[in-house]
Structure 1
Amino acid sequence: MSDAKSWIAAPLGLEPSREERQFFAGERPWGFILFARNIDGPSQLTELVEMLKELGGRETTPIFIDQEGGRIRRLMPPLAPNRPAPRVIGDLYREDGESGRRLAYLHGRLLAADLMRYGINADCVPCIDVPVEGAHDIIGDRALSNDPHEVAVLGRAMAEGCMAGGVLPVLKHMPGHGRGRADSHKELPIVDAKHYELAARDFLPFAELSDMPCAMSAHILFSDIDSQRPATLSPVIIEDVIRGEIGFEGLLMTDDISMKALKGPYDERARASISAGCDIVLHCNGDMQEMRPLVRGVPVLDGESRRRAIHAESYLTQPADSEQLDAMGEEYDRLLSVLV
């Protein structure tokens, strides 16, 4: 990855076009991310993943996807089983703590197996945001619980399940999206809660999981901490809160840089996020007219960002317990049946 650049790209269709192949080969994204538009069937998906890893230049090129369960999943049956929204895990945890933790672990482990079947090796889970009453439902049942301590316990178990399956987990959305009253895909959410309130609730799960290898930033403006810039573009949030107060030392990638919560030319967005302290810029919509200017704002991975990227890639391993998947699937179904 010596010449990889500090961004994650998304192909537009079912396979990279000639233009995309040339562009990605020249601009060397560190990784790629997939969406429903990229998926048609098992063999097509496996071939696409192999192509993207070849373009990345190494077998450990991270191939990301959002496969949480519930309404956020890119792989649908028959490509992968329907798995429930994370909120059901919190429901079980409140009835039986040990069973809830086990279900969270198995959820992560089986999500990993669902993805590794096609060579996908990174999942944007767990979502460890803590919703509050009146917040926008963009998080909703994606949250494990409304209690930050429960979220921390279950988020760790789910992340450990992913890692046991050879898949890199991505904590999201740091330092917390739970109070947002708008969908950051469409506009910038502004959170006016005081810093001490945020620290006690929103930041807590991220602090408890600060040893994890990778996280995604939140396009949220926290007015009591930085009244001018959303977290993704804020040196105050990233250096003082995420790296300092929360203590996160892993790889920090932006949420999708093309979301409408952010404004301005794409090279300026990318440059501002890197300058603020993000390691990797994520671009998701596959629009070449956005990617071409964006790459002018992303440097070659170097220094601490390169070290963090290498560390994140070290989690992309072959699982040692694959022969136990059937038994784990049966246990998972038994635990879920308690809630029916």
Structure 2
Amino acid sequence: MKHGDTIASPLWVGFDGKSLPASPLRWLAGGQVGGVVLYARNIESPAQVRSLCREIRSAAGRGNPLPLIAVDQEGGRVARFKEPPFTWFPPARACSLFCCRNEAMAEGVGAATAAELRAVGIDMNFAPVLDVDSNPANPVIGDRAFSDDPAVAAALGIAFARGSLSRGILPVGKHFPGHGDTSADSHEELPVIQAGRQTLLRRELLPFRLAARSAIPALMTAHVMYTALDRALPATLSRKILHDLLRERMRFRGTIISDALEMKAIADRYGIGEAAVLAVTAGCDVVLVCRGEEDQAETIDRLAREALDRPAFRRTVAASAVRSGRLRAWASSKERCRPAPLSVGAARHRLLSSLLREAWDRTGRTSPDDRSGNIGEG
């Protein structure tokens, strides 16, 4: 969707293959897509990723905002760039094992991860996880969270974000307002959290409140129903949660990004195109549709028709474009650190990883949170 030459589309897409397919290329050229999300299926080597990122940026038509390029590189089981040649870090929980040094470790992991992403042309990392590991039966968060203590999860997540920014990568905290207390996986179904408002404020929301106060540039939503906050809609589609709570009460001024709308928690209940409109209306500045060209085309058409029919929706998209524009401005600024191709698999990064692996191995954890996982890939 495009109105004039300055408003970026709220839609970001993913695709299959190691080079840019015809449809995303056409959508980028037409200003109908504002960003791209890369997955392991798009990655072959550092040189190939650098070339792909150049191809994506050059695809944007004249007058269109430059597309941002994002990836999920948390560490643990959510790592799209694999070892070797990239450095693999254990799950976020490993950083909490270093007592008084844990913030320094989290910041170091954020910086090292960012340096390797920056080296191949990435702009944004969908990390850190700010969820609190509050439910031992959670099938999807677990040790992706820094801690089961909200204050520790906040401190380490903010430290990771600080390290990321220091090496030229935009961090995205996730999954607002908290995915840690779920007993279901939103990739497969809609989780429902029954915790009371005061429990949510004290536990799940604390890391996000502190991250907002620290001026984290972006937050990602959770496809989760919180009955104490909104009995009708999951967070990604809820104006009560995204606008009233996050924007107004918590005073978050950064960019709000939806989790992928093709996840079954959303797609099976609302449909992709309708969900995109609901998400933008609720307060999402960016909506992700990371698989399926038919779903992506439907979303483009649905957003365009909504903007044509509803002036209020056009104004909402314009306001969102201002916020996402701040991310683009930072990503293209001279102050952003220079990419260093030799950062990929650097010895200092491997040393940091080995320290964390040793600490992690001592815990004796035998969970599935390892390098073979593929959360969000399908």
User: What TM-score comes out, normalization by structure 2 length?
Assistant: 0.82
Instruction: Say whether the 8 Å CA contact 1:53–1:59 is kept in structure 2.
Output: no
Counterpart position of 1:165 = 167
Instruction: Say whether the 8 Å CA contact 1:203–1:246 is kept in structure 2.
Output: no
Question: What secondary structure sits across from 2:12 in the alignment?
Answer: strand
1:292 to 288, 297, 310: 297
Check 1:164–1:327 CA distance in 2 against 1; reply closer, same or farther (3 A cut).
farther
C-alpha deviation, 1:152, in angstroms: 0.9
Q: Indicate whether 1:332 and 2:352 are aligned.
A: yes
C-alpha deviation, 1:4, in angstroms: 2.2
Structure 1: distance between partners of 2:54 and 2:97 = 38
Letter in 2 for 1:43: A
Letter in 2 for 1:29: V
| C-alpha distance after superposition, 1:281-334 (max 9, x if no partner) | 11111x111111111233578443122112222332532696997685377357
C-alpha deviation, 1:23, in angstroms: 3.2
Structure 2: distance between partners of 1:48 and 1:277 = 31
2:321 to 306, 328, 334: 306
1:154 to 153, 156, 163: 156
Q: Indicate whether 1:319 and 2:337 are aligned.
A: yes
Structure 1: distance between partners of 2:342 and 2:55 = 30
Counterpart position of 1:12 = 16
Q: Indicate whether 1:79 and 2:81 are aligned.
A: no
C-alpha deviation, 1:120, in angstroms: 1.0
Structure 2: distance between partners of 1:238 and 1:201 = 18
C-alpha deviation, 1:54, in angstroms: 1.5
Structure 2: distance between partners of 1:302 and 1:277 = 9
Check 1:53–1:133 CA distance in 2 against 1; reply closer, same or farther (3 A cut).
same
Instruction: Say whether the 8 Å CA contact 1:106–1:328 is kept in structure 2.
Output: no
Higher RCO by CA contacts (8 Å cutoff, separation 6 or greater): 2
Question: What secondary structure sits across from 1:290 in the alignment?
Answer: helix
Structure 2: unaligned runs, 5 residues or longer: 308-313, 363-378
Question: What secondary structure sits across from 1:238 in the alignment?
Answer: helix
**CA RMSD of superposed structures (Å):** 2.4
Structure 1: distance between partners of 2:353 and 2:282 = 44
| C-alpha distance after superposition, 1:54-102 (max 9, x if no partner) | 224589531100001111100102231121111000122xx2x2x1111
Check 1:289–1:59 CA distance in 2 against 1; reply closer, same or farther (3 A cut).
closer
Question: What secondary structure sits across from 1:208 in the alignment?
Answer: helix
Question: What secondary structure sits across from 2:132 in the alignment?
Answer: coil
Deviant stretches of 4+, over 4 Å: 57-60, 299-302, 320-328
Question: What secondary structure sits across from 2:230 in the alignment?
Answer: coil
Structure 1: distance between partners of 2:23 and 2:340 = 38
Structural mapping, 1:1-340, within 5 Å: 2-56=6-60, 61-92=67-98, 95=99, 97=100, 99-210=101-212, 211-262=215-266, 263-285=269-291, 287-298=292-303, 302-316=317-331, 318-319=336-337, 329=349, 332=352, 336=356, 339=359
Check 1:328–1:208 CA distance in 2 against 1; reply closer, same or farther (3 A cut).
farther
Structure 2: distance between partners of 1:205 and 1:156 = 8
Question: What secondary structure sits across from 2:174 in the alignment?
Answer: strand
Counterpart position of 2:370 = none
Structure 1: distance between partners of 2:174 and 2:237 = 16
C-alpha deviation, 1:15, in angstroms: 1.1
Check 1:39–1:323 CA distance in 2 against 1; reply closer, same or farther (3 A cut).
closer
C-alpha deviation, 1:36, in angstroms: 1.0
Check 1:100–1:323 CA distance in 2 against 1; reply closer, same or farther (3 A cut).
farther
Instruction: Say whether the 8 Å CA contact 2:181–2:193 is kept in structure 1.
Output: yes
Instruction: Say whether the 8 Å CA contact 1:132–1:178 is kept in structure 2.
Output: yes
* Bigger mean CA deviation after superposition, 327-336 or 48-57: 327-336
Question: What secondary structure sits across from 1:170 in the alignment?
Answer: strand
Instruction: Say whether the 8 Å CA contact 1:34–1:65 is kept in structure 2.
Output: yes
Check 1:249–1:137 CA distance in 2 against 1; reply closer, same or farther (3 A cut).
same
C-alpha deviation, 1:37, in angstroms: 1.0
Question: Number of paired residues?
Answer: 335
Structure 2: distance between partners of 1:47 and 1:324 = 16
Check 1:52–1:166 CA distance in 2 against 1; reply closer, same or farther (3 A cut).
same
Instruction: Say whether the 8 Å CA contact 1:271–1:297 is kept in structure 2.
Output: yes
Structure 2: distance between partners of 1:163 and 1:133 = 30
Question: What secondary structure sits across from 2:34 in the alignment?
Answer: strand
| C-alpha distance after superposition, 1:217-243 (max 9, x if no partner) | 110100122111000011111122211
Instruction: Say whether the 8 Å CA contact 1:62–1:121 is kept in structure 2.
Output: yes
Structure 2: distance between partners of 1:15 and 1:327 = 30
Instruction: Say whether the 8 Å CA contact 2:118–2:340 is kept in structure 1.
Output: no
Structure 1: unaligned runs, 5 residues or longer: none
User: What TM-score comes out, normalization by structure 1 length?
Assistant: 0.91
